[in-house]
Amino acid sequence: MDPLERPVWYALNERQNALAVATGVAVRIDPRYGPFAAAADRSEEALLALAATLADADDTIALVEAEPWPVPPGTQVVRTGELLQMVCEEPEVGEPDSRIHRLDQADAPEMAELALATEPGPWGSLTHRYGTFYGIRVNGRLAAMAGQRMLLPGLAEVSAVCTWPEFRGQGMAAALIREVVRGFVARGDTPFLHSYAHNTGAIRLYEKLGFRPTRTMHLTVLARA
């Protein structure tokens, strides 16, 4: 199977298995990184194990699958959505942008503030530790950022691409994506990403940077029933 059809499953069973807090026929990432989870298959055993990864009544897990997934017994659907998965087979990274700086632990509070305000995707207390993140500051303020999320065999995901509204239209997102992709290419990874299917502006930008649609992915957020 193409790992891109089941990115969470492959990420947590291979390159990012150290981030998994549930393993076996169902996997779940440490909730401090995000809500992602996946079952090995659609069997009753796997679905029950997936439901068991929910810690309590306030907890949620997020499935990202190429096909709609059965709702496990004892759970309910909180939200669904369509994601467009895109891959960049021939990246063109260009020259580095002098505005860009690598972000670190000291930047974590501002990173969280930006991500939670602009909602590029789930953000937890340790999301900034998925991998290298880059940012652009304007007058000392973190104006935009982008970084890494899931790692699959030979593939790495661009994620958390976000800019405060007052700084949009200045080429920051494009420059940051190129910087992230430059790192992927250097280690031999092909870049991919997920965009909300309705976010046509972002999709146009990704296409200009060489990303091409591969498939529609199904996002399902679950909680205890």
Per-domain boundaries in the chain: 3-81+220-224, 86-215
Averaged pLDDT for residues 65-87: 97
pLDDT at residue 92, rounded to an integer: 84
Burial of 71 (0-12, 13-18, 19+ CB in 10 A): middle
Averaged pLDDT for residues 194-218: 97
Please tell me if the domain spanning 3-81+220-224 has the same topology as the one spanning 86-215: yes
Whether 127 contacts 145, CB under 8 Å = no
The tokens of 167 are what?
A: 């700084």
- The yes-or-no verdict on residue 199 having pLDDT over 90 is yes
- The yes-or-no verdict on residue 134 having pLDDT over 90 is yes
**Which CATH architecture describes the domain 86-215?**
3-Layer(aba) Sandwich (3.40)
pLDDT at residue 56, rounded to an integer: 95
pLDDT at residue 94, rounded to an integer: 83
Burial call 179-204: b when 16+ CB within 10 Å, e when fewer:
bbbbbbbeeebbbbbbbbbeeeebbe
Distance CA 31, CA 75 (A): 18
Work out the percent of the chain whose per-residue pLDDT is above 70: 100
Averaged pLDDT for residues 212-224: 98
Averaged pLDDT for residues 201-206: 96
CATH class of 3-81+220-224: alpha beta
pTM score, whole prediction:
0.96
